[in-house]
Amino acid sequence: VCALALLQSCQCLAWKPQPVGAWGAESQQVVAGYSDGTIRVFSISRTELELKMCPHGTAVTAVAYSTDGEMILSGAQDGLVAVSSLRTGVTLHVLPDHRGSPITVLQCTRQQQAGSGAQGSELWLATSWDRRLSVWACDWRRGKWQLLDWLSFPSPASPQGLESLPPSLAAFCPWKPSTLVCVGFGMQKEALFYSLHKKQVVERISLPYLATSLSLAPAARLMAVGFGERLLRLLRCPDSDAQDYAGHDDAVHFCCFSPSGRRLLTASHSAVLVWEVAGG
């Protein structure tokens, strides 16, 4: 698929979510972000490019679909976040709140799953490399959204600069409504559970190293964390029982649970591994 853009490198990828009631079906569309500032939508079944948009002037570093699959959020190297319509191919809004630092994560979740009580049908979050995190409530049809929370954490000192540190990462917690799980925030090697209701950290889990990747299983209380030390840790919550796996030859820069939670995909520099998750 990426051979259609040979002169550019693919920086990030997201699968289109399935409609409600189609649980377990395989999505046939992906969106990819490229180093030239474009986002491209591909059909998996036809292996062809369906749509190309250029919402950014710098490399795209994160992409996500809205939960209904109608909107695409994209974040760039310069910290701008764009909201584009999949139907029209038009970029509707550009949000400058994270300007100046690369976007590391974009994620959407349905409002009833998050339980925040804010207006709008959906919540989404954005994190940037400078330890900032924003959470938004939105109504895509009306083109309205509201900033719910803004977090900013100190970072460890590094002689090579901020971007030499592992990225700041966050995800909505599937088993704790209105809760975020964050790694790469603050001075300690730990995962933080932050309550949107209480506006505070409600739980901390110590980690052996600074995290380079994070994924939460949607159907089980499992959390996968990758590290630059070639280590993958699987945590079962709330007891925080940990199992470590050393199958990679470099930093584990990507991990992602399947929708069922029975498999886990991880990637390092030259290896992609698929794990069977016992009890997932």
pTM: 0.86
pLDDT of residue 120: 66
In the chain, residues under CATH classification 2.130.10.10 are 10-15+28-152, 164-279
Helix or strand or coil: residue 162?
A: helix
Provide the mean pLDDT of the chain.
86
pLDDT digits (tens, 9 = 90+) for 15-52: 888 765 544 445 578 899 999 999 999 987 788 889 99
For residue 51 the two structure tokens come to 């749509």
Q: Which residues contact 6 (CB under 8 A, 6 or more apart)?
A: none
**CATH code for the domain defined by 10-15+28-152:** 2.130.10.10
**pLDDT tens digits, 63-111:** 999 998 999 999 999 999 999 999 999 999 999 999 999 999 999 998 7
Rounded-to-integer distance, Cα 216 and Cα 181, Å: 9
Mean pLDDT confidence for 196-211:
93
DSSP class of residue 30 equals E
Write down the CATH superfamily of domain 164-279.
YVTN repeat-like/Quinoprotein amine dehydrogenase (2.130.10.10)
Which of 17-26, 155-164, 255-264 is least confident? 17-26
| pLDDT at 161 (0 to 100) | 61
pLDDT at 206: 94
Task: Check: CB of residue 206 under 8 Å from CB of residue 225.
Answer: no
Beta bridge partners of 60: 76
Residue 92: per-residue pLDDT? 92
Mean pLDDT of 129-147: 89
Q: How far is CA 153 from CA 77, 102, 132, in A?
A: 20, 16, 7
